[in-house]
Structure 1
Amino acid sequence: MSTSLVIAAVDGSEHSLKALEWARTAALLHGGGLMVAHVLPDSAQLYAGRRSSLHSASEPEEYTDPVSEHIRDLLARAPELPAEVRYEALEGSVPEALRVIGAEADPRMLVMGSRGRGGFAALLLGSNSRAVASTTTCPVVVVPHAGRVVEASGEESAGRVVVGLHAAETPDDVLAFAFEEAAVRGTAVQVVSAYAVPPSTMIGVDSPFAVIPPEGLADGGDGVPAEREMLRSQTERLAPFRVRHPHVPVEQAAVPGEAAGRLVTASRSAALVVVGRHHPTRNVGPLMIGSVAHAVLHHAHGPVAVVPTRTEDA
C-alpha cells in the first residue's frame, strides 16, 4: 500500500465535494499526493465509443466534462494543496471503476461521499458507496452528508480516532490504520469493544460509557467481570501498537450492548471511526460487508473508514 496517496472519488454532488475537502486535508496530513477520480457520465462514455467507432477526425478529441472543470476550479481556490494533484477520468460503472483504480494505485485510502447524484434524498447510504466499501482492496473512507453530521459535544472529546475492536477477531490492518491516522492528526485512539449482557431495564442503550486508562485496570477495581476481562484482552492486543506509536494516547472502553450502536454514538465526537470490513475467517464472499461495518456506515455522524485485510483480498 502507498503510504501517502489519497484518492477522492467525485461526481460533482455536494456530498462528493465534502469528501473531496476531507481527502485534500488527509493528503496534506500524510504529506502525499491527491488523485481526483471522476467516473465519466454515460453520455461522455457513449460519445467516446461513437468517436472511436467512426474514426471521425471532424469530431472533437475530448468530451467536455463540466464536473472535472468544476473540480479544478474549486481546488485552484483551495488554501493549500498537496505537492502533487492529478486527475483521472474513469470509464465503466462507478463501483467497478473505483475498485480498479483502488487496486492499481494502491493508495492510503479512497474517500467518497455517502451519496452521489443518484438515489433518493432520504437515503442514508448510496448503493455506489456501499458497493465500493464492500469490494475495494484499499481502505475506503465514507464521508456522510450534512444531514447526518452533528457538532462535537465538547472540545475535550472531539477529534479522536475511534476504532471498534474484537480482541480475538479484529485484524491487525484495522488497528494499524487507526493508530496511523491518530498519529498524523496528533490525537488519541479510542478503542471500543462491546460485550453481551442479559436484557435488563437498568441498562440504557444510549447511556454513556466509561473510558478506562491502562492504569485503571489494576486488581481491585469495580468493573463487572465481563468488562474487566475485555479490557485486559484489549490491553494485551494493543500492546504492540502502543510500542509502535508511543506518542499516541490510548483510551479503552468496554461497553455492554451492541457494538455498532456504541460506535455510532462515539462518532458524534470523533474525527474518524475505523471498522474492519468483516470477520476475516468467515466465508461471507467478496461482495459482502459485515453487520457492524454495514450499520456504522449507514448511521455514523462522521467519516467512517472501512478497512479490508491483506489476507482477505489476496
Structure 2
Amino acid sequence: MSNGPVIAAVDGSEHSLRALEWARAAALRHGTGLLVAHVLPDVTQLYAGRRSALHDPNQPEEHADPVTDRVRALLEASPELPREVRYESLEGSVPAALRVISAEDSPRMLVMGSRGRGGFATLLLGSNSRAVATTASCPVVVVPHSDRDAAARPAGEAAEPSAGKVVLGLHVTETPESVLTFAFTEAAARATTVQVVSAYAVPPGPANLLGAPFAVVPPEALADAGDTVPAERETLRAQTRRLEQLRARYPDVPVEQATEPGNAAGRLVEASRSAALVVVGRHHPRVRSLLIGSVAHAVLQHAHGPVAVVPTLPEEDGAP
C-alpha cells in the first residue's frame, strides 16, 4: 500500500470543500502528506496562454485565482494539519489533469466531491467524478454532496449493522487483492471493523426479495447446518478463504461476513447510509476497459456516504 500523499481535488465549491476536510482527516489518520490540487478555470488557462503568446511584460504574470487563497485560509484554521501540505495548480480538463497527477508520487488516494447536478436530486455522481473514478491510477474516494445527507436514514431509526464500519464489496473470485488491502488498511487506521458483503446466485423466491433482513454472519457460525441455502454457505466459505491472508496481516481488525442474493449493489448502497466508507473494485482485473464495473457504477450513483473505487494494480493484471 502506497505511503504517498492524499490528494484533495478542489474547485472552491462546497462539494469540494467537504472532500478537502475528508482528505485532511485521511492524511492525519495515515500519517501522510496532503496535496491540494486545483485545476485552473478556463479563463485563467486562456489568460496564461495569451500572455505567453504575446510576450507582453506589462501584463501581470498570474491571473487572480481566489480558490487557492480560500483553501489555504480554511486549512490554516483547521485544528490540526498533516505533516506536509502542498498546493498544485493544474491545467487542462479536470479528468485529464487529475489523471496525470494520480500517476505521480504514488498517492495513497485521490479525494474529490461528487458535484452531482443531474436530473435526479438523489444521484451522487457528476461527469468529472465519474471520469476520474474510471481512469485514475490510484484509489479515488468520492465524497457525496450535502443533499445526500438528507436522503440518509431518518433520525430515530435503528442503526444499520454497518454503522461506523468499512464496508467492502467482494466478488469472491474476481475482486483484486489491492481492493481488499485498501479496505483493511482503512479499517486499521480507523480502529474499526471490515464488513464484507458478497452476492450469491439463487433462483428467485420469497426468501430473497429485496428488503429481506441483512444477515451478518460471524466466521464461527459458518457450519454445514443452519438456515442458509447451499449457495450462501459456499459464498461464505469462499469469503473466508479470500480473507485468510488479510486476517493474518491485520490481526487487530475485526471482520464480519455478509451475503446478498443476486446483486450486492443495493445492499452496499443501503450500508453507505451509516458506514464510514464503502470500498469497491473498479472492474474485473482482466477487463482492460475504460468502463467502470456495474456494481461500482451503481454504488457511486446512489451512495449516501463516501465511496472508494480501487483500481487493479499493474502487477495484479493477469491479462497477457
TM superposition score category, shorter chain reference: over 0.9
Q: Which moved more, 1:227-236 or 1:49-58?
A: 49-58
In the TM superposition, what is the alpha-carbon distance from 1:309 to its structure 2 partner?
0.8
Tell me which moved more, 82-91 or 257-266. 257-266
User: Equivalents in 2 of 1:141, 1:66: separation in Å?
Assistant: 25
> After the TM superposition, which residues 235-246 of structure 1 pair with which residues of structure 2 at under 5 Å, given as runs?
235-246=240-251
Of 220-229 and 75-84, the range deviating more from structure 2: 220-229
Matched AA of 1:303 = P
> Secondary structure in 1 aligned to 2:212?
coil
| Distance in 2 (alpha carbons) for counterparts of 1:313 and 1:17 | 38
How far residue 199 of structure 1 moved from its aligned partner, in angstroms, is 2.2
Q: Is the 8 A contact 2:269 2:299 kept in 1?
A: yes
Give the alignment's TM-score, normalised by structure 1: 0.94
Q: Tell me what 2:303 maps to.
A: 300
SS where residue 142 of structure 1 aligns?
A: strand
The superposition leaves residues 133-177 of structure 1 with CA deviations (integer Å, 9 ceiling, x where unpaired) of: 000010000001112232685387421000011111110000000
Q: Structure 1 stretch 32-41 or stretch 118-127: which is displaced more?
A: 118-127
Between the aligned partners of 2:83 and 2:287, the Cα distance in structure 1 is 41
Aligned to 2:197: 192
Conserved? CA contact 1:205–1:257, under 8 Å: no
Which residue in the other structure is 1:101 paired with?
101
Alignment of 1:74-93 (within 5 A): 74-93=74-93
Q: Structure 1 residues 214, 119: CA separation in 2 closer, same or farther (over 3 Å shift)?
A: closer
| Distance apart, 1:202 and its partner CA | 4.2
How far has the Cα of 1:258 moved from its partner? Answer: 1.4
Match of 1:181 in 2: 186
- More displaced 10-residue stretch of structure 1: 129-138 or 251-260: 251-260
CA distance in structure 2 between the partners assigned to 1:313 and 1:107 by the alignment: 23
Q: Name the stretch that deviates more: 216-225 or 67-76.
A: 216-225
Give per-residue Cα distances to partners, 1:39-75, cap 9 Å, x unaligned. Answer: 0000100111111111111111111101111111111
Given that 2:15 and 2:113 are in contact with CA atoms closer than 8 Å, whether structure 1 keeps it comes out as yes
Does structure 1 conserve the Cα–Cα contact (< 8 Å) formed by 2:162 and 2:195? no
> Which of 226, 231, 238 pairs up with 1:221?
226
Return closer, same or farther for 1:119/1:226 CA change in 2, 3 Å cut-off. closer
Deviation at 1:220, TM superposition (A): 2.3
- List structure 1 runs of 4+ shifted beyond 6 angstroms: 118-121
Q: Which residue of 2 aligns with 1:7?
A: 7
1:230 alignment partner in structure 2 = 235
Corresponding residue number in structure 1 for 2:139: 139
Aligned residues: CA RMSD = 1.9
What is residue 247 of structure 1 aligned with on the other side?
A: 252
User: Which residues of 2 match residues 165-176 of structure 1 at below 5 A?
Assistant: 165-176=170-181
Pick aligned residue for 2:292 from 269, 289, 293? 289
- CA distance in structure 2 between the partners assigned to 1:277 and 1:139 by the alignment: 9
Q: Assess if the C-alpha contact under 8 Å between 2:285 and 2:318 holds in 1.
A: no
Using structure 2 for the length normalisation, give the TM-score. 0.92
- Which residue is equivalent to 1:53? 53
SS at structure 2 position matched to 1:158: coil
- Kept in 2, the 8 Å contact 1:33–1:82? The answer is yes
| % identical aligned pairs | 71
Any idea what the Cα deviations from partners look like across 1:163-213, whole Å, max 9, x if unmatched? 011111110000000000000000000000011222224433122311111
Q: Mind listing any 5+ residue stretches in structure 2 that lack a counterpart?
A: none
Q: What CA distance in whole angstroms lies between the structure 2 residues aligned with 1:88 and 1:206? A: 46
